[in-house]
Structure formats: structure tokens, C-alpha cells
Copies of this chain bind each other. A is one copy, B any other.
């Protein structure tokens, strides 16, 4: 069975402002290593047996930069599908499924996640082949490293199996609930990564989300050939709904494969501080900086000098045209900054 990677690159990553912008979202940026996130995602699967060129689903203006970035690492997308507007992941998954052969295994990967154990990731993907062949919709569930309240959770019914039937998808919990989830050993984080046959997922979307199916199908009735596809106006009629809400929470074909591979969705600057390398004072420093009497902080600068004096637990990000200075436990409010910048397209 051929594996077709599907790189979902539709988000704008406003929680990583000012690095991530509408024009250049975080998946087009490097946050940890030298590769951009979309490059790292493509490389994560590029050398696996049976893997074809990827299908990319992205925003209207990101086709060219993504093709350029993938070209730099020797990857040529089979198709780049440029959505005229974002309509969430159900639509994006269906676009990819319509572009793929019936019997291909789609491996759906958000292009803005980090995985540090690539070999472990590939092992988990290999485990998906059997259930996918049997028609299952596979979701990858991250083994929790703590009681995160920012993720949805997946409850599995057989915690010993490598491929586990899904009992339920549950919404983001409060802290006490998250702690009970982690203690139980039955819950995994909902990562947004999936595997299924193209024909199987098409059929489930048609059955469970017919409005999504109708709008997306109509938007590409001219075909999905060529290096770049632009869905037509019918796409705007598609409801904006996540693939989890539209399909995974309702299908009886859901199974989950645990992932314990150093995964992160890099959801905030605090997350990035957590996963990056620190010096003896707990500081992450990327770029030209002088730190005096400062601890447990994240400093990132593109070229210009940053001096940090006498502060603990802060985030400083300098991108040349803007500077973020935030308490590390308040970085979720970066979204409020982006909202205030809505009238200033060069900065949002």
C-alpha cells in the first residue's frame, strides 16, 4: 500500500507572533532546527518505504513559498492545493482524499508540529498499515507527559494493545480532570495526525458530513491534476468544522495508535521554551543576546542584539520589525496583540 503524506499547512499560528504572521506562518519558519516546520514535516516521512510525493493543502498565498521550501530539501509535492479561504480540517482532509488514489494510505500531518524521535514516529506509522488496510480510521494519540489542559484527549478501551479501539474523544479538560486522565493511563492527547485509505475517509465524510462533502466535491469538479490546484467558489459554501468533530467523534471505525516520540504542537512560546535546549540558568537563547541575572527565559532574535537584565520567566522575541516581551505564563495573550494589529496587515 502506497503511503501519501498529506501536509496540512492552513493555520496562521498567531500564538507564535511576531515570528508567525498571516503572510509567513510558523510552518514556513524554523523554530527549533535549521529546517522550517513544513520542511521538517516532509523530511519526517520522505525516506520511509512506500512513501510517495506529498499532497500539500495550504492557504491561497502559500503555494509558492511551500514549493520553494520543499524544493530546497529535494521534495516535489504531487499536488499543492491552495484553499481560497480556510475551512478547517474536514475540508482540507477531503481535498487531499479526492486528489489521491482510492487504495492509497493517506498520512495526515499538520505541518506545524515538532517530533524529536523520528524513528519512533516511523515505527508508529508502520503500525497503521494493517488497520488502514482493514478500513479503519487511525488517529495517533500522544502519550501525555503531563496534565495539559490545552489539548483534547482520546480515551482508548484497551491500554495494552498497540492499536486501540477509541471509546471517546473528550474536549479540553480542566486541570483536575486532566490529572485524573493522566493518572488513569487510558487517555492520549489528540494530536491531529491521522491515517486511512483515501476511499474509506471519503466515504465516511460523505456519510457523516454531507455538507462538507458536497461543497468540497463541487469546488474541485474540474479535477485535481496539476502541480497547483485552486478549488472553485463552491469551497466557500463548505462549513468550517474540524475533521475530529465532523468524522472521528462519530465514526465506528476509529482506532488510536499511541505515539511517544517527543511530539509538540509548538502551541506557544512557553511550549517552545519547554522543548528547546537550555543553558545552566534555564535560558533558551537563539541569536545575539546578553543575559545578566536572568533565568528560565526564552530569548530569540533575528540579528539584532537583545540585552536581558534581572528578569526571570520571560519571553523576548525580536523579528526585526516587532518585539514581543511577555511573562512566560502570559504568552497566550499574544493572540490579543494580534487582534489589536488587525488593521495593520504588515504586522499581524
Contacts and interface: CB of A to CB of B under 8 A. Distances in A.
B305 A336 contact: no
B323 A305 contact: yes
Copies of this chain present: 2
Contacts of A162: none
B309 A322 contact: no
Contacts of A320: 304
Contacts of A326: 307-311
Interface stretch (A6-14, A73-81, A195-203, A327-335): A327-335
Interface string A296-319: 000001001111111100101010
A134 to B, nearest CB: 49
A18 B320 CA distance: 16
A301 to B, nearest CB: 7
* A contact residues, range: 35 or more
Interface in A126-172: none
8 contacts: A304-B320, A307-B334, A309-B324, A309-B330, A310-B330, A310-B333, A316-B323, A316-B325
A46 B290 CA distance: 42
Given A304-B321, A305-B341, A309-B326, 14 more contacts: A17-B307, A292-B337, A305-B322, A306-B323, A306-B325, A307-B334, A308-B325, A309-B325, A309-B331, A309-B333, A310-B329, A311-B311, A311-B330, A318-B323
